Amino acid sequence: MCKTRSVFSLISIIISQIFSAMQIFARSVVKQQRWDEAIAVYQQLLTTYPHAQHVAYCGWGQVLVQQGKLAEAITIYNKVIAFRPQDSEAHYLLGMALQQQQKLPAAKAAFQKALQFDPQHQAARQSLKQIDRQ
């Protein structure tokens, strides 16, 4: 029994390290603006690590935003919010995409949600202040 637990613990550590490596790789190809590769990595993360869908979807959404595909990004962020309604980062990212589309009331609501779930989310707070100044 003890050996079995040790093996499972080791496997869990390895899986976590592979997941982290894939995230690092995705961020690397994003920096190089290799969008199709980045999306492929995020899709692979979705398939391989379904328990971490929010991470993959948020990364994928950010790639779409950088490509100017705001409507698609908004759809992705809404998927995250559908299964993780208290995900402050997803609300923040949704707000950023909506703000770029000049949908300011919806963006403001998304930033407020982000702050509701994480009152320390400084980027959401700054974005909200920016909208209020407009």
pLDDT per position as a tens digit, 18-58? 877 887 888 888 888 898 999 998 898 888 888 888 888 99
Give the pLDDT of residue 71: 97
**Residue range(s) defining the domain that contains residue 111:** 85-134
Q: Do 65 and 90 belong to one domain? A: no
Last residue in a domain, options 17, 44, 70? 70
pTM for this structure? 0.81
Nearest to 56 by CA among 85, 27, 82, 96: 27
- pLDDT reported for residue 89: 95
Of 70, 96, 120, the one marking the end of a domain is 70
Q: Which residues, 6 or more positions from 101, have their beta carbon under 8 angstroms from its beta carbon?
A: 70, 71, 74
Q: Are residues 40 and 4 in the same domain?
A: yes
Residue 2 has pLDDT above 70, yes or no: no
Locate tokens 């974005």: which residue? 127
CB atoms within 10 A of CB 36: 10
22 with 58, same domain: the answer is yes
Residue 107, domain member (yes or no): yes
Does pLDDT of 125 surpass 60? Answer: yes
Domain count, the chain: 2
What's the pLDDT score for residue 1? 54
